[in-house]
Amino acid sequence: MKSVLTWLPAAAIVMVAPAYAGQYATVDEAAKRAFPEATSFKESVFQLSAEQVSAVAAATGLPARPALWRSLTAMNGDKPVGLLVLDGVIGKFELIDYAVGIGADGKIRNVEILAYRESHGYEVRLPAWRKQFVGKDKSDKLRVSEDIASISSATMSATHITDGVRRIVAVVAQMKSAGTL
């Protein structure tokens, strides 16, 4: 008996390959969307002290990461207007790269999905879902099913991105209170 693949048209074979992973925005695009008034961006890396790590964990209810954080400071002339912080979380199985723009006032300007690799849950990339974060700050809960809507086919991705955004807001608040941002 012949293999099925010997008589299938080439187009049918190509369609079998998963096409769900993708790059959706670059860091530069995310920065410009968050801070359209910025005239330049300064890239930097920062790390929390042990005390700051503990404070972030207490503020968020999440394990804080003492890892290095990559960011871009948005500048308008010589005045900082905000910070774009880059991060990655695991959705259900795969890494999701995202960026959070936080204005000088501590409020979220945007959440941008940079790369999404999961086979399900792509709805977290949709502007309507990401828009829920805009205007929130460290005083907001930032929890799925409380002030951020869940997505039935993207529960894990939505939860992990929301947790990551909550952590970033707390990290930025810690760095600002320490005068290091």
Please indicate, yes or no, if residue 66 is contained in any of the structural domains.
yes
The answer, yes or no, to whether residue 13 has pLDDT greater than 50, is no
Distance, CA of 145 to CA of 162 (rounded, Å): 10
Please indicate, yes or no, if residue 112 is contained in any of the structural domains.
yes
What secondary structure letter does DSSP report for 149? -
pTM attached to this predicted model: 0.86
φ, ψ of residue 24 to 5 degrees: the values are: -110, -20
Please write the tens of the pLDDT for every residue from 27-73.
999 999 999 999 999 999 998 889 999 999 999 999 878 778 999 99
H-helix or E-strand spanning residue 129: helix 127-130
Structure confidence at residue 167 as a pLDDT band (50, 70, 90)? very high
Please write the tens of the pLDDT for every residue from 113-122.
999 998 888 8
Structure confidence at residue 110 as a pLDDT band (50, 70, 90)? very high
What is the domain extent for residue 118?
Answer: 19-177
Please write the tens of the pLDDT for every residue from 19-39.
456 788 999 999 999 999 999
Please indicate, yes or no, if residue 13 is contained in any of the structural domains.
no
User: How many structural domains comprise the chain?
Assistant: 1
Please indicate, yes or no, if residue 24 is contained in any of the structural domains.
yes
Distance, CA of 90 to CA of 92 (rounded, Å): 6
Please indicate, yes or no, if residue 7 is contained in any of the structural domains.
no
Distance, CA of 101 to CA of 84 (rounded, Å): 4
Please indicate, yes or no, if residue 151 is contained in any of the structural domains.
yes
H-helix or E-strand spanning residue 45: strand 40-46
Please indicate, yes or no, if residue 1 is contained in any of the structural domains.
no
